[in-house]
Every structure is written in C-alpha cells, then in structure tokens.
Amino acid sequence: MILHTLGKLVGFTALASLLPSVLAQNSTCPTNSPASGSGKLKLVGVNISGFDFSCNIDGNCHSTGAWPPLTKYYGLDGAGQMQHFVKDDGFNTFRLPVSWQFLTNDVLTGTLDETNFAKYDDLVQACLDTGASCIVDVHNYARWNGAIIGQGGPSNDIFASLWSSIAKKYASNSKIIFGVMNEPHDVDINLWAQTVQAAVTAIRNAGATSQMILLPGNNFTSAATFISNGSAAALAKVKNPDGSITGLIFDVHKYLDFDNSGTNQECTTNNIDDAWAPLAQWLRCNGRQAFNTETGGGNVASCITFMCQQIAFQAQNSDVFLGYVGWAAGNFQPGSYVLGETPSGGGTSWMDTSLVESCMAPVSGSQLGSTGVN
Ligand SMILES: *[C@@H]1O[C@H](CO)[C@@H](O)[C@H](O)[C@H]1NC(C)=O
Ligand SMILES: *[C@@H]1O[C@H](CO)[C@@H](O)[C@H](O)[C@H]1NC(C)=O
Ligand SMILES: *[C@@H]1O[C@H](CO)[C@@H](O)[C@H](O)[C@H]1NC(C)=O
Ligand SMILES: CC(=O)N[C@H]1CO[C@H](CO)[C@@H](O)[C@@H]1O
C-alpha cells in the first residue's frame, strides 16, 4: 500500500533521484543503468524461523534447541503463517532455516537423521503446499561447533555430503532453492569459495540440476562489503559441473540499523548508496544476480520509511536483484522480538506487523513480476 502511495506522491523524478550517481560512474561497464523493463521483484518472502533456534554465530547449535514452527510439534503455526502470507499479502517465498546439527542429530556427518529430517520436511512441505518457493537454509555461519568448514573444521567432503543428502530429497522439486550456508564470517574467502564449490558440485551431482543455489560471502553475507572484502571476486569463480553459472545466485543480507546487526528497533539507512547501488552495478557488469535473503527492522516509522526506499530501489534494479526475504516470523511470539514479523491471530483473521503491512508485503502488481510464482 505504501509503495503505491510513494509512487504517487514522489513521482518518477523524485524516485529517480534515489538512484545514486555511482551508477553512471564506471565507464568500463557497458550497461550501468537499470535495464529497461525492470521494476518488479521475482521472489519476495519471509524467514520462518525455529529449526535454527539455539544456533550461535560460532556454529554451535544443538538439535534439542531446535523448535519446529509447527503446531504438530508444539510450536507456533508456521504453516498457517505461510498460508496467510501467500493469500493475504502476496508473498511467494519462504526461507526455512535449520541447523546442520538438527539435520544429523548432532553427529558430524553428511548423512541425515531421518527422524529429524522428517520434522524439517514437514515445514518444507507446508511451504510447498502454499505454492511458494522454499529456501532450505543451513544456518551454521560456515561452522560446526566453533570450527570453520574446510578451514580446520569439518572437511569440504563432509559438508558436500550433507548437501548431497539434502539435494537428493528435493532433486525433482523446482520450487526448492538451496541456501548453502547462512552468514559465513571471519573466513578465508578463497578457501571458503572452494567449500561453496564443493556444495554446488554435490547438489548438482545429486540430480538437482536446475534449481537455484545461493552462494554466501564473508562478513555475515553483508551486501555492503560483498565487493570490497573479496566475496564477489572469490564466489564468481564457483561454477556448475558443466562449467556454467546457471542458477548460481549470490546470497546477501542487509539490515537497516546503524551497525547492520539487525538487533536495533530504529532504522538509520536505506542502504542504497553504500550497498545496493554499487552491488547492482557490479552484478550488472559481471552478468550476475543476487538475492537479499535477510533484511528487516523494527515496527517503527523510521523502518517503514527506509525499508520502503530499499525495496523500491531493489525493484528498480530487478534485473540484478531477485527479491528480498524478511527476518523473521515462525516461532518468534508476536510482539516479543524487535524484528518480529510473526502475524498475530490465526485461522482466517491474521494481523500483520506494521512493517510487513506497510512495506514488506508485496502490493498487488507493484513488486511481483510476471515471472513471479503467484
Ligand atoms: C567496472 O566494470 C567492470 C566490468 O566492465 C567490472 O569488472 C568492475 O568491477 C567495475 N568496477 C567497479 C568499481 O564496479
Ligand atoms: C576481508 O576482511 C578481513 C578483515 O578485515 C581481512 O582480514 C581480509 O584480508 C579481507 N579480505 C579481502 C579479500 O579483502
Ligand atoms: C563488515 O560489515 C560491517 C558492517 O556491517 C563493517 O563495519 C565492517 O567493516 C565489515 N568488515 C569487513 C571486513 O568488511
Ligand atoms: C540479524 C538477525 O536477526 N540475525 C539472526 C539470524 O538468525 C539467527 C539464528 O536464527 C539469529 O540468532 C540472528 O539474530
């Protein structure tokens, strides 16, 4: 709703002024302005959190700390939330975080624990039942219990076998998106790119030949430092087994609070000048795309202002940005979490948080493109 209003009030000229001059500065880039026909995002959604509960940024997670966001397992009604988000708000994507430890029942292996996996799959199936795209997100910060994968911790082979196991389960489902890893940080990016390559090769060789795979960079997949800290250059070398880059999408996160931590209620930036504009230019010049799989803010006026601006910019650059996924609903009790997007109510009368209602829910026709799932 706000987006419609924004468009009407500020008009094209003011909206165009949101485009920073940096877009016109790289003279070596052949196409440094938004492609014509852009303006609609393809994938817009919400994180449905719960199976990732207990995960710390050092990759310590405990299978017993996971809390399935499904009433069947005494969680909140994640299935009902997703149905509401699709039917009432027009969302078409959900990101379903889960820890490696839950998937293997705390055993350091790539072999799934079938009992635990069946519970996670219940959430995946509830997502698929809505018709949405569903991101399987391994939420381990590039680590297993403090040690970095391929850099002193588990070998790339073990991690690749985990992805092979997951990919075999969903190889034939085109609505599944493989999120290789949530928020790597403090890794050697060139070694990390080899780990990501191992996962990509395993996913493709497991038979999931056509789905999207999300490639995560360093510094908590920060969109702002994706280029400057070397993630872009390192991850650009990751290829499918056939040498192509088809379906290989960069995974980037960005919050709108002053320290990009996603822990503060107030928003201080729309991230355009320091993150989205330079990233759009790099992606366009290098023939790549990115997906903003975590963003969010408090339910306050500053966030509504800045989030609407961020989304408008992403939509203007939808040739290189697939969309965004808000953090987070699922097992966060309504009203209890600063970045909560869990709607209150249930059944046929859900009520969204103000940020979701004012900005993040796709407004019919304004964000979902003709290629969107809905
Ligand atoms: C300028 O464009 C080239 C591609 O033509 C790209 O490789 C380079 O990274 C761009 N530079 C900046 C600063 O974005
Ligand atoms: C990324 O940042 C870290 C921490 O400042 C630094 O050690 C590393 O050299 C940087 N990597 C690149 C490729 O810029
Ligand atoms: C990581 O991102 C934060 C902001 O979120 C920034 O302050 C810091 O300089 C970045 N580190 C690197 C190594 O780029
Ligand atoms: C910024 C933010 O909310 N990040 C969250 C990402 O997911 C983990 C685990 O689910 C949370 O602990 C973080 O706070």
Contacts for 314 with CB less than 8 Å, ≥ 6 apart: 41, 276, 292, 321, 323, 324
Instruction: Give the domain ranges of the chain.
Output: 36-367
pLDDT digits (tens, 9 = 90+) for 311-351: 999 999 999 999 999 999 999 999 899 999 999 999 889 99
> Per-residue pLDDT averaged across 73-86, rounded?
97
CB–CB of 260/219 below 8 Å? no
Of 183, 222, 227, the residue with max ligand 3 atoms within 8 A of its CB, to mutate for a pocket test, comes to: 222
pLDDT digits (tens, 9 = 90+) for 92-151: 999 999 999 999 999 999 999 999 999 999 999 999 999 999 999 999 999 999 999 999
For the chain, what is the mean pLDDT? 89
Q: What is the pLDDT of residues 282-312, one digit of tens each?
A: 999 999 999 999 999 999 999 999 999 999 9
Helix axes 156-170, 114-129, angle to 10 degrees: 50
The yes-or-no verdict on residue 369 having pLDDT over 70 is no
pLDDT above 60: residue 14: no
- Of the pLDDT bands very low, low, confident and very high (cuts 50, 70, 90), residue 281 is very high
**Spatial CA neighbour of 366 closest among 85, 89, 177, 17:** 89
Question: Across residues 18-24, what is the average pLDDT?
Answer: 42
pLDDT per residue as tens digits for the range 146-196: 999 999 999 999 999 999 999 999 999 999 999 999 999 999 999 999 999
**Pocket residues for ligand 4 (CB within 6 Å)?**
49, 52, 55, 97, 139, 255, 262, 327, 339
Answer yes or no: is pLDDT of 38 > 90. Answer: no
Q: From the CA of 255, how far away is ligand 3's center (Å)?
A: 13
**Nearest alpha carbon to residue 94 among 30, 63, 51:** 51
- State how far the Cα of 374 lies from the Cα of 152, in Å rounded to an integer: 44
Give the Å distance between the CA of 230 and the centre of ligand 2: 7
Confidence of residue 40 (pLDDT cuts 50, 70, 90): confident
CATH 3.20.20.80 fits 36-367, yes or no: yes
pLDDT of residue 30: 57
The reply to whether ligand 2 has any atom less than 6 angstroms from the CB of 184 is no
DSSP labels, 281-313? HHHHHHT--EEEEEE---SSHHHHHHHHHHHHH
- What is the H or E stretch that residue 322 is in? strand 321-330
Pocket test for ligand 4, best of 339, 341, 342, 355 (most atoms within 8 A of CB): 339
Ligand nearest to the CA of 285: 1
Q: Active-site residue among 114, 266, 294, 341?
A: 294
CA of 281 to the centre of ligand 1 (A): 8
3-state secondary structure of 46: strand
Flag whether pLDDT at 364 surpasses 90. no
Q: Is 294 a known active-site residue?
A: yes
Residue nearest to atom 4 of ligand 4 (CA): 262
Whether 183 is a known active-site residue: answer yes
**pLDDT score, position 363:** 67
pLDDT at 4 over 80: no
Q: State residue 5's pLDDT score.
A: 31
Query: Does ligand 1 have an atom closer than 6 angstroms to the CB of 18?
Result: no
Which atom of ligand 3 lies closest to the CA of 228? 14
Instruction: Ligand 2, residue 190: give the atom nearest the CA.
Output: 13
Q: List the beta bridge partners of residue 133.
A: 93
| Residue 39 pLDDT class (50, 70, 90 cuts) | confident
CA-nearest residue for atom 3, ligand 4, is 262
Better-scored residue on pLDDT, 6 or 142: 142
Rounded to whole angstroms, what are the CA distances from 143 to 62, 204, 366? Answer: 13, 22, 39
Compare 19 and 342 and report the one with higher pLDDT: 342
Distance CA 65, CA 60 (A): 11
For residue 291, the CA-to-ligand 4 centroid distance in Å is 17
**Confidence (pLDDT) at 348:** 87
Pocket lining: 230 vs ligand 2, CB cutoff 6 Å: yes
